[in-house]
Amino acid sequence: MTLDSFSDRHHGRAVFATMTPEHRAAIGAVRDDLRAAGYDEDGVRAALGMPVLDLQPAAFHHLDRHVLGTDPLATAIRLFLLDRVVAEKDVRALLGEPALDVLFSLDVLGEADGGLRSQVHLTCAHDLLLATDTGRYSDWWTGADDLSDRVMYIGYDSAGLASVAPRDRSRRTLDLCSGSGIQSLVASRYSDEVVGVDINPRAIRFARFNAALNGIENVTFVLGDLLGPVAGRAFDRVVSNPPFVPEVPEGARLLYRDGGPDGERLLAEIVAGAGRILEPGGLMSITTDLFNLDDLPRRIGEWLGVRDGFDVLVLVERRFPVWAYADTHASHAPTARERAAYAARMVDALEDVGIRTVHTGYIVVRRRPGGTGRGAAGPVTVETVSAAGPVRRPAGTHVTDHFRFLDREREGGPDDDGVLLPNPAVRLVTSAPPGGAETHRLVAPEDDYVADMDISDLTRKLWQATAVSDVRWSVIRGSALEPVARELVRQGALTLRDLPAAGGSDG
């Protein structure tokens, strides 16, 4: 049974099923009322004392009883994040009549136990309000009631991809596996036109509601299987958060999670489509769990199925011990015994398909501006960079810089020059233990892309030189400093920029 058929049976219709152009026009009242109550990422973080993405069901009761007050913001959090039944008078203090009308008629709000309850969560991320299904782990546990069409919560992978995907101007952007629509809606800010594709009709309805809720009009959501609905079209940018969790045999199925036995069923198909779907110079940014990282470059090359024309950046966030990965995916189990049993089955399932290591991260595939084949000199490159940890803040300019550097190297020729600029978020920390030698470290606590680096004295000298004067690439190239500079560029601590235009003006 799916959630849609469940709510059909219980309410006679499913959430958002009745949405009309009139609803779309009226949904802005919901956004305005929530914003007026301070319901945004910062407001919710301040009220809960934690980032909204860190919320766990185990915390709901405590937050409700001992942390939240009685103001409209607290009402919104109880209703739309903590699954509480809220007194109607409190909801009326939060939402005006027009907003209430829309939410009732779309079956978002309903009466329950002497108050009102929301059928959806509304999460604040990337300056958007996003409706998703409630609960991450709860009632889809049993095989019989798998509720497999649940629309995915906003996870670290969702928010992370929206941070990693570059935001420079795009004419056409495609969001594969759009779910709640978060990637499409963020992309709508830097794209003329966005198409989101999802195979789950419930997700398409949620995404359309979310576009209206955020007043966004240049996005279309289409029902279909991966590239099927956009066959024959090409895009400047593709973003995708596909289902990537390896399936446990006989486990309950979940559309947003299940990536086939090895977790890579959809990933492989999406990467394989890069040649057809990306314009020359186009970028495909994907978030996924990265299995057997040491062998991943080979698999990516195999999926691409070409020998040239592409550069790939694998951005690694953090390593997950296999047992901890299995345990995370078992955390919906109703008892500790069942949790341990499910985790053990997952460990065995991972072993059966040869998964030895798990990292979280991103794969960015760039079709070279020259395209594929003749003129697209050099084999496919796959480079791996370790980020500082989970990417929570926008980091797309690093990705753009990464590919720009590769292009320069490939096409620039011996006369190409530039200036090495230090990343202003990076600081040099020098420590000198009593009687010991000085050690140097580059740190960037405000930049999630740049991992802390212990550096040599030579690297320190180069770094300090870039901070006080223009260091030309032509001076570094071919010298002992070149590998050092390359490493700093690769890690995002330095950027190679064009030389400033010659000064002076002819008036």
Ligand X SMILES: C[S@@+](CC[C@H](N)C(=O)[O-])C[C@H]1O[C@@H](n2cnc3c(N)ncnc32)[C@H](O)[C@@H]1O
Nearest to 133 by CA among 114, 112, 144, 118: 118
Q: Can you give the C-alpha Rg of the chain in angstroms? A: 25
Minimum Å gap between C-beta 329 and ligand X is: 13
Among the listed residues 7, 118, 200, 466, the single contact to ligand X using CB under 6 A? 200
**Binding residues for ligand X restricted to 227-246, rule: CB under 6 A:** 241-243
Q: Provide the mask over 161-190, with x wherever binding to ligand X is found by CB under 6 A and - wherever it is not.
A: x---------------xxxx-xx-------
Minimum Å gap between C-beta 271 and ligand X is: 14
**Binding residues for ligand X restricted to 52-71, rule: CB under 6 A:** none
Q: Which is nearer to ligand X, 153 or 310 (CB)?
A: 153
DSSP string of 436-479?
SPPEEEEE-TT-SSS--EEE-HHHHHHHHHHHHSPEEHHHHTTS
Among the listed residues 255, 274, 350, 388, the single contact to ligand X using CB under 6 A? 255
Looking up tokens 């999630």 gives 448
195 binds ligand X (CB under 6 A): no
Copy the structure tokens of residue 280.
């020359």
199 binds ligand X (CB under 6 A): yes
**How open is the CA angle 120-123-124, to the nearest 5 degrees?**
150
Distance in angstroms (rounded) separating the CA atoms of residues 23 and 20: 5
CA distances from 495 to 303, 312, 340, 413, 427 (A): 31, 19, 47, 18, 15
Q: Provide the mask over 281-320, with x wherever binding to ligand X is found by CB under 6 A and - wherever it is not.
A: ----------------------------------------
Q: Which is nearer to ligand X, 109 or 346 (CB)?
A: 346
Phi/psi of residue 468, nearest 5 degrees: -105, -20
Phi/psi of residue 477, nearest 5 degrees: -60, 130
Q: Which is nearer to ligand X, 163 or 200 (CB)?
A: 200
Minimum Å gap between C-beta 149 and ligand X is: 7
CA 271 centroid distance within chain: 17
Q: Which is nearer to ligand X, 262 or 401 (CB)?
A: 262
Q: Which is nearer to ligand X, 329 or 368 (CB)?
A: 329
Distance in angstroms (rounded) separating the CA atoms of residues 420 and 463: 9
Minimum Å gap between C-beta 341 and ligand X is: 25
197 binds ligand X (CB under 6 A): yes
* Site residues, ligand X (CB under 6 A): 152, 158, 161, 177-180, 182-183, 197-200, 203, 225-226, 241-243, 255-256, 266
